[in-house]
Amino acid sequence: MATTNLSYYDKATIPNAKPFRFGIVVSEWNPEITKKLHKGAINTLIDCGASNENIVSWDVPGSFELIFGCKKMIQTQKVDAIIAIGNVIQGETKHFDFVCDGVTQGIVDLNIKYDVPIIFCVLTDNTKQQSIDRSGGKLGNKGIECAVAAVKMAFINTKNSQSNSVGF
């Protein structure tokens, strides 16, 4: 479990996001959490050089629907990376386990099937306070961290595509 703010990043170590187009798929469930993650991701992408025009955001009803939303975004939008944003908080039933497992495996499957990196920005916390702490609270904003990961993965994907096309 994180015990310090992990949202600090050094722009000098991150590729410029200007040439890339980013997708963000956001769960509407627990909006007081997911909207903060979304805002952190957008602000970071822009800070790293992305333009507003190159950021596409879609809402889906819940975290389980992130999988389908990401798949449709890959199929219909030309994006270099997608950030899947959601929040699942432990309750009294096994629903938490099923949703968390399904979303995790679904995003893994999409990363294997498609040539677009999908960044997992789904908070899976035991309490609402833990989610608050990780969406702009004392432990930072996971949306920021995931935006940095999206920029790095878009760059790696583009770099490897270019290298492969020239025979490296």
* pLDDT block averages, 10 residues each, the chain of length 168: 69 96 98 98 98 98 98 98 97 91 98 98 97 95 97 92 47
User: Which pLDDT value is given to residue 167?
Assistant: 37
- Asked, for residue 64, whether it belongs to a domain, the answer is yes
Q: What is the pLDDT of residues 3-49, one digit of tens each?
A: 567 688 999 999 999 999 999 999 999 999 999 999 999 999 999 99
Gap between the Cα atoms of 22 and 81, Å rounded: 5
Q: How far is CA 94 from each of CA 34, 64, 106, 118, rounded to the nearest angstrom? A: 22, 14, 18, 26
User: Which pLDDT value is given to residue 168?
Assistant: 29
- Asked, for residue 2, whether it belongs to a domain, the answer is no
Active site residue 38: no
- Asked, for residue 124, whether it belongs to a domain, the answer is yes
Run of H or E including 130:
helix 128-133
Catalytic residue among 18, 78, 95, 138: 95
Domain with 34 in it: what CATH number?
A: 3.40.50.960
Please count the other Cβ atoms lying within 10 Å of the Cβ belonging to residue 31.
13
Q: Determine the structural domain holding residue 112 and report its residue range.
A: 17-165
- Asked, for residue 130, whether it belongs to a domain, the answer is yes
